[in-house]
């Protein structure tokens, strides 16, 4: 498992990002309009940059904010003046949530915006100073030794999907990464069955005032549907104080995964409980 430390303000969203009740309400338009303007300009820049993987997306985002710096006071002013205690509006620290439902509802209601930048880059803008970046990167193909002796490998019709890394990044409008989780692997399939092959899974964290990760696990699961997953997951305990303004300490279980089927189809997704 790989872990790395990021910059000071890299600290808050993915944790409180998914600790919600569905349906964000409108916030002070003074801050919302400024945030939306920054986000809209970022999307225009990314659409022109022709990005198609994690590295390219991060480089383009970093370049945009280097050329268009944002004053840190916008974030502190947002939380102080909107009286928000978690990063996504109208969320609760101790509530369970369905992340897909939360994002879908707010996108349908016009609170959030989803942008498909390319086949491998998707960005979800929120009505807060933070946004979600989901990317898929093609890696050098890896075939493990266990596969060579497996029943699947003995079947002439078996094939392997490309080795890929799915990364979920949460970033702020300062341009820095708050938190990320990645899972890397591939699947072998023959039309009748599918096997998962996890290469690695890891998380990157920012500098948190309160931080603890329990029960980190990476592995594979076999679903009732016949599909299989490779995953990285763990329980994150976290909290942060910005300029004397404290965001709620939370405990949430995050799971980022790739899912394969017997026909070679692969999807990338995440859950939070």
Q: To 10 degrees, what angle do helices 73-82 and 29-49 make?
A: 140
The CA distance from 187 to 258, in Å, is 9
Q: Is residue 61 part of a domain?
A: yes
Q: Is residue 125 part of a domain?
A: yes
Pairing between strand 113-118 and 130-138? unpaired
Q: Is residue 5 part of a domain?
A: no
Could you state, in chain order, the average pLDDT of each consecutive group of 10 residues for the chain (273 residues)? 42 44 52 88 95 95 95 78 66 64 87 94 90 93 63 62 92 82 93 92 73 87 94 78 56 85 93 74
Of 179, 59, 188, 41, residue with least CA distance to 121: 59
Give me the domain span that covers residue 108: 13-272
Instruction: Return the pLDDT at 6.
Output: 39
Instruction: Return the pLDDT at 31.
Output: 73
Let me know: does 231 contact 220? Beta carbons within 8 Å: yes
Instruction: Return the pLDDT at 197.
Output: 94
Instruction: Return the pLDDT at 170.
Output: 81
- Cα-Cα-Cα-Cα dihedral sign, residues 177, 180, 48, 125: negative
Taking the CB of residue 149, how many other CB atoms lie within 10 A of it?
8
Query: How many structural domains does the chain have?
Result: 1
- Residue ranges with strand state E in 110-244: 113-118, 121-125, 130-138, 159-160, 164-172, 177-189, 194-205, 210-222, 228-242
Let me know: does 190 contact 159? Beta carbons within 8 Å: yes
Q: pTM, whole model, 2 decimals?
A: 0.81
Length of the chain in residues, anyone? 273
Q: Is residue 8 part of a domain?
A: no
Let me know: does 183 contact 166? Beta carbons within 8 Å: yes
The CA distance from 157 to 129, in Å, is 49
Q: Is residue 206 part of a domain?
A: yes
For the chain, the straight-line distance linking the first and the last C-alpha, in angstroms and rounded, comes to: 22
Q: Is residue 6 part of a domain?
A: no
Q: Is residue 205 part of a domain?
A: yes
The CA distance from 161 to 153, in Å, is 13
* φ, ψ (nearest 5 deg) of residue 185: 175, -170
Q: Is residue 208 part of a domain?
A: yes
The CA distance from 103 to 84, in Å, is 18
Instruction: Return the pLDDT at 194.
Output: 92
The CA distance from 197 to 140, in Å, is 14
């Amino acid at each position: 498992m790989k872990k790395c430390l990021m910059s000071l303000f890299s600290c808050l969203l993915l944790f409180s990002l998914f600790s919600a009740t569905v349906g964000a309400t409108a916030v002070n338009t003074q801050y919302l309009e400024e945030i939306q303007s920054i986000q809209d300009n970022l999307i225009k820049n990314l659409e022109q940059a022709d990005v198609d993987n994690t590295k390219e997306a991060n480089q383009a985002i970093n370049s945009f904010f280097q050329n268009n710096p944002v004053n840190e006071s916008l974030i502190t002013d947002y939380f102080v003046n909107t009286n928000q205690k978690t990063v996504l509006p109208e969320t609760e620290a101790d509530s369970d949530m369905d992340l897909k439902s939360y994002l879908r509802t707010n996108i349908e209601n016009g609170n959030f915006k989803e942008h498909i930048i390319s086949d491998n880059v998707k960005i979800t803008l929120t009505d807060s100073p933070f946004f979600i970046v989901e990317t898929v990167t093609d890696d050098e193909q890896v075939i493990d030794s266990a596969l060579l002796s497996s029943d699947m490998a003995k079947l002439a019709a078996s094939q392997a999907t490309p080795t890929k890394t799915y990364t979920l990044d949460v970033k702020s409008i300062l341009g820095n990464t708050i938190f990320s989780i990645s899972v890397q692997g591939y699947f072998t399939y023959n039309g009748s069955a599918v096997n998962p092959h996890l290469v690695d899974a890891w998380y990157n964290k920012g500098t948190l005032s309160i931080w603890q990760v329990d029960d980190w696990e990476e592995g594979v699961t076999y679903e009732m549907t016949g599909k299989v997953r490779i995953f990285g997951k763990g329980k994150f305990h976290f909290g942060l104080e910005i300029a004397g303004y404290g965001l709620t300490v939370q405990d949430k279980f995050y799971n980022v995964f790739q899912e394969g089927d017997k026909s070679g189809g692969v999807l990338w997704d995440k859950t939070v409980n």
